[in-house]
Structure 1
C-alpha cells in the first residue's frame, strides 16, 4: 500500500491567487470550489461577510504523489491562518524539476537559505513565498554529492 501525504495551506482571501501561482510553478490540474459554489450555511455566512467568492477548498494535483490543497480562512471561523510550511524532497534524478520549482517559488519570496549543497550531501534551500508559506526543498545528493 502506498500512502501519500498532502499539505493543506490556509490564507485569508488569497487562496485562489496563491493556488494559481503554485499551478504556474508546479504544473498540474487545479480544482477550486468557493463558498458560494457549496451553498448552505457556510456560503450564507461567507456571503454576509463578503467572502462568498473565497475558496472553500482547492486541490492542485501535480502527479500521483504530489497534491497541494488549500482554502481561505473565513472571518466567521475563530483564529487566524498560521505560517505554514511545505517540504518537498526528491532524488537526484528529479533535481532539474525541483530546481525549476525552487526558481518559480522564489519569485517575490524571501530566501532564508539558498538552494545549495548542504553538509549532509544533499542540496537544500528554504524560503518564504510571496503568500507567506515557508517552503523547504531538499534534493538528494547523487552518490554523496549535493
Structure 2
C-alpha cells in the first residue's frame, strides 16, 4: 500500500453508532476496537479506541471516542468532501447523510455548472457533496 490521506473523526461516546451509520451510507467493512480490548477497565472501556471503515468505492474513514480527560470539540473545523461524476451514487450518499441531519445548502445546480450541497449529519460532521456537471462547452476546457 502506498501513502493515503483519509479523515479521522473524534467523537464523544458516539463513535460506534456514527461509524455504523456511515457503513449504512457507504457500505463496506467496519472494524472496531474498544479500549477494553487493550486493557482499560474503567467506565468508558467499551468506547471505541479505533474504528476503520473501508468502502467498496475505496474510501477509508477512521474514528474514535475521545478518552476521558481529553478535550473534545465537535467537528466544526473540518468538512468531508465527496465529489465525482457518478450523480446517482453521490445523490444516494447525500440522501442517507442528510437523514436526521441539517442541510445548510441544498444539493442543486450551481453557477459553475456542478451540483453542490452542504450538510451537517446527525453526528455533527459537515459534508460537502459535488457532482461534476458537463463542462464540455467551457472556455477553459477547449
TM-score bracket for this pair, using the shorter chain length:
0.7 to 0.9
Summarize the Cα distance change of 1:5–1:112 in structure 2 as closer, same or farther, 3 Å threshold.
same
- Please say if residues 25 and 105 of structure 1, whose CA atoms lie closer than 8 Å, have aligned partners that are also in contact: yes
Q: TM-score, normalised by structure 2?
A: 0.87
Moved runs in structure 1, 4+ residues, more than 2 A? 1-4, 142-145
Summarize the Cα distance change of 1:29–1:87 in structure 2 as closer, same or farther, 3 Å threshold.
same
What are structure 1's unaligned runs of at least 5 residues? none
SS in 2 for 1:100: helix
RMSD: 1.9
Summarize the Cα distance change of 1:64–1:38 in structure 2 as closer, same or farther, 3 Å threshold.
farther
Whole-angstrom CA distance in 2 between matches of 1:144 and 1:27: 32
User: Number of paired residues?
Assistant: 135
Q: TM-score, normalised by structure 1?
A: 0.85
Greater fraction of residues in helix: 1
The partner residue of 2:91 within 88, 96, 99 is 99
What are structure 2's unaligned runs of at least 5 residues? 138-142
Name the counterpart of 1:25. 25
